[in-house]
Amino acid sequence: MAFISLSTHDWMLGIFLACAVVLFGNGIHYFVFRLLRKDHATARQRSFGLRRYLAGPARAVFLTIGALIVLPFVPRIPPLIRDRIEQIAGILLVLCMGWLAIGGVYVFQSVMLSRFDTSVSDNLRARRVHTQMQFFRRVLIGMVVVLDAGALLWSLHDESLWKYGTGLLASAGLASLVLAVAAKSTASNLIAGLQIALSEPIRIDDVVVLQGEWGRIEEITSTYVVVKIWDERRLVVPLSYFIEQPFQNWTRKRGDILGTAFLYVDYSVPVEPLRAELTRVVKLSPLWDGRVCGLQVTNLTERSMELRCLVSSIGSSENFDLRCLVREKMIEFLRENYPDALPTMRMELRDRREEIAEAGPVPAPTETSAG
């Protein structure tokens, strides 16, 4: 009867300790994240993804630590089984710490990018920081995974496995060289990613023209770049392309841009009224940034006169719409005020009958005989 009473006591103690672990883990988790959140309004605006990236791994870490704390107080566990349970709990703790470290990398990225908004008009520095942080985030996560794998091997109770943890870190450089030889294209893209992050030939949200396609840099991964084409298609290009091949970057230094619209009119059209009409059209449009507006005669052919309308905007999308507007309004102005202004092909038709009558009858040919 005493043995049954003792077993019941141990069973109840085990349940109590398990509940204590759950209460401890969740209580510490609630207290920590309550301190990190000042108020509800601030949390919604500047949370930096704390709950999104750290809430899950932090709760797992607290519960695992609680289990390791109360495990020595659980009675009647054989030493071999206790050792295995401690080893499993240690492995879970190392994995959860790695998970927490990766979440910390994402939070660090959110904190760094919170001061750089890419939606503003002058977003050159913001796009630069966003591009660099994407690359360095992947590098940091790779380092965390390698360190966590080494720590996982070190946490095992088998001393013969400890050397593998040290060898994993020591051979990381050699493995990188072997992988670079085995996968030259992948390695070249990784090196190109480092060059792009440092030299910045492209950035997130840059407007580029490559292979005859106009689009924006939507995503830069460790091996390829996704370009969002103007018609919602996606062009996937290897990173090495932007290092080895020429391409156009319309927002390399600044976001504002100049655009042209060409008109081909007859020589009889006066230029000054067209110049005044162009100025009136762009001033009424919110797409114009107020910097450049001009109309010039850029070429003369035997049939028409080429007029170039030069206008400026804060971005390439706005400039494209502004150029379309200029074409529409200028053609409408020409049609209403100078209906004969469009280039025409002149032809002169002569009546040859009068010339033939004045010349007189044509003499008939005579036949000559020989001999």
What is the reported pLDDT for 59?
82
Q: How many CB atoms lie within 10 A of CB 295?
A: 22
**260: helix, strand or coil:** strand
What is the reported pLDDT for 4?
39
Instruction: Identify whether the C-beta of residue 193 lies closer than 8 Å to the C-beta of residue 201.
Output: no
Instruction: Identify whether the C-beta of residue 118 lies closer than 8 Å to the C-beta of residue 127.
Output: yes
Q: 294 - beta bridge partners?
A: 310
| Domains of the chain, first to last | 2-164 (no CATH), 257-337 (3.30.70.100)
Is the pTM of the predicted complex or chain greater than 0.75?
no
- What residue has token string 């020429």? 246
Encoding tokens for residue 198?
Answer: 């440092």
- How far apart CA 236 and CA 223 sit, in angstroms, is 10
Per-residue pLDDT of the chain (371 residues; tens, 9 = 90+): 333 344 565 556 666 667 777 777 777 767 776 776 654 444 444 566 777 788 888 888 877 887 777 777 776 677 777 777 777 888 888 888 888 888 888 888 888 777 776 666 666 667 777 777 777 787 888 888 888 887 777 776 555 555 555 555 555 555 555 555 544 555 566 677 777 777 778 888 888 888 888 888 888 887 788 999 988 899 998 888 888 888 888 887 777 788 899 999 988 889 999 999 999 999 999 999 989 999 999 999 888 899 999 999 988 888 889 999 999 999 999 988 988 877 666 666 666 666 666 666 656 555 544 43
- How far apart CA 145 and CA 102 sit, in angstroms, is 8
- How far apart CA 316 and CA 206 sit, in angstroms, is 10
What is the reported pLDDT for 86?
78
Dihedral sign for Cα atoms in the order 49, 53, 56, 59: negative
Encoding tokens for residue 31?
Answer: 């207290």
What is the reported pLDDT for 175?
55
C-alpha distances out from residue 58 to 110, 156, 320, 326, Å: 18, 22, 49, 58
Residue 265 CA from chain centroid, whole number:
43
Instruction: Identify whether the C-beta of residue 294 lies closer than 8 Å to the C-beta of residue 338.
Output: no
Residue 365 phi/psi, 5° resolution? -70, 140
- How far apart CA 179 and CA 23 sit, in angstroms, is 47
**Which amino acid type is present at position 144?**
V
What is the reported pLDDT for 7?
58
- How far apart CA 277 and CA 286 sit, in angstroms, is 16
- How far apart CA 203 and CA 212 sit, in angstroms, is 19
- How far apart CA 169 and CA 153 sit, in angstroms, is 11
Dihedral sign for Cα atoms in the order 11, 14, 19, 20: positive
